[in-house]
Structure 1
Amino acid sequence: MTGTSDRPISDYALLSDCQTAALVSLDGSIDWLCLPHFDSRAVFARLLGAQAGHWSIHPTGPYTASRHYLERSLVLCTQFHTPTAIVTVTDALATGWNERGHHLGEHAPHLLLRMVQCADGRADIEMEFAPRPEYGLVRPLLLPVEGGLRCHGGPDTLGLCCPLPLQIGETAHAHTRLEAGQRLAFALRQVPAGSHPALMPQEEIAEHLQDTVNGWHSWSQMHQSYQGPWEELVHHSGRILQGLTFQPTGAIVAAPTTSLPECIGGVRNWDYRFAWVRDASFTLDALWVAACPDEAEAFFRWMAQVGASDTAHCESLQIMFGIRGERDLTEQELPRLPGWRGSRPVRIGNGAWQQRQLDVYGELLAAAYRLREDLAALDTPTKDFLAACADLAAACWDQPDQGIWEVRSGPQHFVYSKLMCWVAVDRALALADALGAHARIPAWMRARDEIRAAIEEHGWCQKIGAYTQAFGTDVLDASVLMMPIVGFLPATEPRMRATIDAVRGRLTSKDGLVYRYLSTDDGLPGEEGTFLLCTFWLAHALALAGESQAARKVFERAARCANDVGLLAEEVDPASGELLGNFPQAFSHIGLVNAAWAIHQAETGAVEPPLCHRPD
């Protein structure tokens, strides 16, 4: 397949029904959609190759475009200004929420909705529908039916509800003229193989769209109560995290895309449509602030359930799972796709599932500690699982692993991994009563003391005057900023203060964003951009150190990297300022929420994230 996608990543906006996601470009083209779930094979994948499928609707001829999400929702409104008219295209994935903000789960409609309206003047509109199932492998048959067309080929049978006459070949085209006040509604859905999509009246599509707007409003009203600095940014990030949630299980994907690169033209291209154990504690803290304890509890219970058998039958906890709990996430390459701006290979699956990363025990126990008031309701197997995770951290903390950044070079004694093993036993000690684990307390206390002593002796590098990436190295790594965030050391402790200053001075680009690390062999060629999560960590650590004004400056620099509809990617190109990596990135929005709350704490003396009322 020839032809790469050159459109900036920041040109895209997210649609979500809490089961899958679509990305819509500024010119009204849906260039990424997996149906019916986040990890399904893409139907539209022009994001990764010019011929890999899209669905565009926009005015004919010259126009300028702007867009926004409708208030308190992920329903997108794009406004096109032509010389003769103003045209709006409203896009949504129907959420299936009821009027109380409750999701209908598997009964959700799985509908992609598009409403085109001429707000003023007169405009010619063109539509191009080019589905290419299985990441562009299949060129399906497009067959006309009453009220639209049927798309048949590969694993997907799709029905397009279209009110216009269609010119059908390998791609379907339609043109029309709209006068002020006129509107047209379109819908795309999966249909049973061999069946015909029933005609969906224009009014029914409009009702689904309004129901989706109402559902987002109800969810936001009932689930979001944060009041503090950057309130709208925090609430919007909460909606993004909700949009990245696979509602049937509670899993949260790291991002809804695959293979958007960390370096243009490079090989650091990964599939992020899975749920990482590592995200657990960071995500729960963010959900408590920006969403609701219900979402936090659902995510934790799912993570504990899918991980429980690991500690019962093997010596380590798998670091990531599929959105339904799948363990085998074998990685493969798709050579037919040229990748975004020629960034090959395009990968599906993620080989990191087989890595050993010891930090996951700490993140899981920290998540349990966040939900400690609800632990009494946990069943005995789950309590046993959490205690076993602490046992594994106590037994394995002194072994090397691949670390938080999932390096593909040899294992090392990463400081962050040791730190999170310390967190595992520290939180387990605090939860000993709830876990019924009194007999384990002496062993956990010994391990906690041993880990602390090892980090303080071997993690500190006198040469650079900071805690470093791994024992015995002088490589600076932004992950050490987590030491005060998890409570290992106060941010004001002299060596910790020196480490914060070292990251701020030596790992920060000229434009104020933070790299993960520099000058180290991680097993892959090429470089990467600055990392937004790490930048928010720096803001968080500065707030804990009592430097709220400096923290605000760092926070606002990172927040300015969001695109016009408030979405953050994983990284930023230090030369061009372009967004890089899979998009939107849960970790970046999680970092934003947690840093905003830390600054709020520093300025007001608050000690716990706010609680919202639980819906009935």
Structure 2
Amino acid sequence: MDQPPISDYGFLSDCRSGALVGRDGSVDWWCPDRFDGASVFGRLLDPRGGHWRLAPLAPSRVERAYRPDTLVLRTVHHTPSGSVAVTDALSAQIGARGHEVGMDSPAVLLRVVEGLTGRVRMGLEFVPRPEYGLLTPYLHEQDDGGVLASAGPVTLVLRGTGPALRAEQDRVRQEFEVAAGQRVGFDLAYAPAYRDRPARLDPVVALAETVLAWEGFRETHRYDGAYAPQVRHGATVLTGLTYARSGAVAAALTTSLPERIGGDRNYDYRFSWLRDFSMTMRALWVAACPTEASRLFAWAARSIGRVGGTPVPVLFGLEGERDLSEHDCTHLHGYAGSRPVRIGNDAWRQHQLDVPGEVISAVWRLHEQLGEPFAEELREMVVGLAEQVATTWRLPDRGMWETRDTDRHYLSSKVLCWTALDRAVVLAPKLGDRADPRRWATIRDEIRATVLREGWNDRIGAYTGAFGSTELDASALFLPVVHFLEASDPRMRATIAVVERELGTDDGLVRRWNTDPAGFLLCSFWLVECLVLAGEPGRARRLFERILGHANDVGLFAEQIDPRTGAQLGNFPQALSHIGLINAAWRLTDPAAA
């Protein structure tokens, strides 16, 4: 199927939900209730999934950019008869500023058309399809010139400041002309069914308020290190992926965008992963987002609850839900025919030994802000996780990449078990009488010795992905990042060289393993950090800048890059890719940083 490249999309957010708008002016993804809710526009995953296009009727040359330090996107269309700008945003609450951007989002999609030169004939096509395209709503023209769409659990109201909108049977199709200096605004408001219809917003006023809200947020977040514009934008993207009601950071906006076109590794990433927790916390601190870091930590502690014998899940829903059972949307063809389309993620059922290490590392990073001694629930959580590691670290698991085949003794999982106990020993004075730092230190040292012995493969000349395996895995680059092993250690230096040679692509990206067809952005940023730590900052900087060149025209990254075509692959925008960028930029700024 002929679908726009993933990189064609821009990202809008109100910190409750997110939307993707293409260079052609079509909003092809929006789940208005919350990031992981059902879509009302889903053409991203099937041409029949619904969309809202607003663009010139004539072919146009497109330029676009975010308003500085916002997720308000301005797209300029240059046509033979003139030029027009379309500015898109998800509305902030009127009067919201700073971290309040998404606290009480009204769930309104704003689109304002402004004539710049000449006269431009515009076309609007509004095709709502709630419940991932399962529903075709009734459309009702309203006395105020708007159109109400209702079906199942969804009510949508589309209004404009131009001529009254006219409904066809299942869509709105309309043309209008914009001359230089004229503005026409549209607001599309969502409400759950059986509630009051959403109040009308003035789209021009609401757009200005939304810009002010984002700018107020950035004014309180200062970063003075290397690559400041890219770090600031990365932090804005992370904020856009933050579910403001709880503080959880969604791994991505989308579900089922493929790692390989036509493949079946298509997963739902609209949840929050504990395995990414410490990396996310570090990125938020680097980007000077202390409020966001503290709220994310509070969400994680609440979601985990009392630690017992059951392993802590690797991911949770945005409000702490555990059961994220997966099902396939068999009625959707998938992006470019890549099936299945999955809703939910069964990785929540997997046993992953790395989770406690990520959580305890985050506590270690925040410990000076968490009081002396820790509150009882925090002490219980850290001690419970440390004890869980102490008794389970010898078990196999599914590993960092959440394989769906068999359990193995993955190197990265064992290293994060070591990390958990290493940080718990440091935190022991704040953990009360149940802390057992002497025992933890003994087990920590045993884990380290086991990893150094079993993880190294003489024939390959590197640390491999799992004990006894000959397969390389780019997660080995994580060892210096968590201070398990110095990058200058001869075996670690050899591993970096082998990974770069065998898993690297011509443009410097790093694949996760030999059979992975695409460069994985997080691993590529880990290589930047490893090169800095190995004393090669010049080469690290050159690699970092090559990776930056793979961002789309508005600075967004998916999960992976096809080394043959440069196409972005995987869910989009991907939090881990932007987290990797921020952390690598800070490593280039301060090589000694924790």
Give the TM-score, by structure 1 length.
Answer: 0.93
Q: d(CA) in 2 for partners of 1:275 and 1:9?
A: 22
Q: Which residue of 2 aligns with 1:153?
A: 151
One-letter amino acid of the structure 1 residue matched with residue 52 of structure 2: W
* Residues 1:9 and 2:1 are matched in the alignment: no
Residue 434 of structure 1: which of 424, 430, 433 is its match? 430
The aligned counterpart of 1:219 is: 217
Q: 559, 573, 581: which one pairs with 1:592?
A: 581
User: Which of the numbers 204, 207, 210 marks the counterpart of 1:206?
Assistant: 204
Preserved contact between residue 128 and residue 173 of structure 1 (Cα < 8 Å): yes
Distance in 2 between residues matched to 1:444 and 1:199, nearest whole Å: 58
Which stretch shows the higher mean deviation, 32-41 or 4-13? 4-13
Q: Counterpart in 2 of 1:468? A: 464
Could you tell me which residue of structure 2 aligns to residue 611 of structure 1?
none
1:499-578 correspondence runs (5 A): 499-519=495-515, 527-578=516-567
* CA-CA distance at 1:105 after TM superposition: 5.3
Matches within 5 A, 1:31-430: 31-96=28-93, 98=95, 100-103=97-100, 106-145=103-142, 146-163=144-161, 164-168=163-167, 169-191=169-191, 193=193, 197=197, 200=200, 204-223=202-221, 225-309=222-306, 311-312=307-308, 314-376=309-371, 378-430=374-426
* Counterpart secondary structure, 1:191: strand
Q: Deviations over 1:223-266 (max 9, x none)?
A: 2x111221100100000000000000000000010000000000
The residue aligned with 2:444 is 448
Q: State the Cα distance separating 1:607 from its structure 2 match.
A: 3.8
Counterparts in 2 of 1:110 and 1:439: CA distance versus 1, 3 Å: closer
TM-aligned CA deviation for residue 123 of structure 1: 0.9
Shift of 1:166: 2.8
Paired letter, 1:46 = R
SS at match of 1:177: strand
Tell me if structure 2 keeps the 8 A contact 1:254–1:272.
yes
In structure 2, the residue matched to 1:491 is 487
Q: 1:238 and 1:328 mapped to 2: Cα distance?
A: 29
Aligned AA (1:468): T
Contact residue 119 and residue 180 of structure 1 kept, 8 A: yes
Partner of 1:23: 20
Asked whether the 8 Å contact 2:529–2:584 carries over to 1, the reply is yes
What residue is the counterpart of 1:523 in the other structure?
none
* Separation in structure 1 between the aligned mates of residue 160 and residue 194 of structure 2, nearest angstrom: 19
- Find the aligned partners of 1:437 and 1:369 in 2 and give their Cα distance: 18
Q: Which amino acid aligns with 1:368?
A: V
Matching residue's letter, 1:13: G
Q: Please give the per-residue CA displacement for 1:114-163, whole angstroms capped at 9, x wherever unaligned.
A: 10010111111110000000111111111101230110112101111123
1:382 deviation in Å?
Answer: 2.1
Q: Is the 8 A contact 1:239 1:291 kept in 2?
A: no
**CA apart distance, 1:528:** 3.7
Confirm or deny: 8 A CA contact 2:141 2:166 kept in the other structure: no
| Aligned-partner Cα distance in 1 for 2:198–2:587 | 52
Residue 294 of structure 1 and its aligned partner are, at CA, apart by 1.3
After superposition, the CA RMSD in angstroms is 1.6
Quick one: structure 1 residues 354 and 99, their matched pair in 2 at CA, closer, same or farther if it must change by over 3 Å?
closer
CA deviations 1:62-113 (Å, max 9, x no partner) are: 2111100001111000000011111000000112274641316553222111
Say which SS state the counterpart of residue 44 (structure 1) adopts. coil
In the TM superposition, residue 341 of structure 1 has moved relative to its aligned partner by 0.7
- Structure 1 vs Structure 2: percent identity of aligned residues? 47
Quick one: structure 1 residues 105 and 167, their matched pair in 2 at CA, closer, same or farther if it must change by over 3 Å?
closer
Q: Is the 8 A contact 1:98 1:104 kept in 2?
A: no
**In the alignment, residue 66 of structure 2 is paired with which amino acid?**
Y
| Offset, 1:200 | 3.2
Of the structure 1 ranges 95-104 and 465-474, higher mean CA displacement relative to structure 2 is found in 95-104
**Equivalent-residue separation in structure 2 for 1:412 and 1:320 (angstroms):** 20
The verdict on how the C-alpha distance between 1:437 and 1:301 changes in structure 2, with shifts beyond 3 A counting, is: farther
Distance 1:406 1:102 in 2: 33
- Secondary structure of the residue aligned to 1:165 is coil
1:579 aligns with 2:568: yes
1:371 is paired with a residue of what secondary structure? helix
After superposition, the Cα gap between the structure-2 partners of 1:258 and 1:439, relative to the gap in structure 1 and judged at 3 Å, is closer
| Equivalent residues of 2:190, 2:198 under 8 A apart | no
**Other structure's SS at 2:99 match:** coil
Letter of the structure 2 residue corresponding to residue 570 of structure 1: E
- Judging changes above 3 Å, is the alpha-carbon distance between structure 1 residues 198 and 454 closer, same or farther for their aligned structure 2 residues? closer
Give the paired residue count: 590
Distance 1:196 1:431, change over 3 A: closer
The one-letter code of the counterpart of 2:223 is Y
Deviation at 1:379, TM superposition (A): 2.6
SS at 1:475 equivalent: coil
1:590, CA displacement in angstroms?
0.3
Specify the code of the residue in structure 2 equivalent to 1:558: I
Alignment gaps of 5+ in structure 1: 520-526, 609-616
Cα distance change, pair 438–166 in 1 and its aligned pair in 2 (3 A): closer
Residue range with higher mean Cα deviation, 104-113 or 501-510: 104-113
Q: CA contact under 8 A between 1:359 and 1:418: conserved in structure 2?
A: yes
Instruction: Compute the displacement of 1:191 (Å).
Output: 3.2
Q: Hey, what's the Cα distance between the residues in 1 that align with 2:404 and 2:196?
A: 48
Offset of 1:25 from its aligned partner? 0.1
Alpha-carbon deviation of 1:51?
1.2
Quote how far apart the aligned CAs of 1:375 are: 2.0
Separation of aligned partners in 2, 1:104 and 1:483: 37
Q: Alpha-carbon deviation of 1:167?
A: 3.3
Q: Which amino acid in the other structure matches residue 43 of structure 2?
A: R
Secondary structure of 2:359's match? helix
- Cα 1:70–1:242, aligned 2, differ >3 Å: closer, same or farther? same
Work out the CA distance in 2 between the residues paired with 1:114 and 1:346. Answer: 29
Aligned-residue offset at 1:5: 5.4
Partner of residue 478, structure 2: 482
Change over 3 Å in CA distance of 1:79–1:21 after alignment to 2:
same
Cα distance, 1:259–1:247 mapped onto 2, change above 3 Å: same
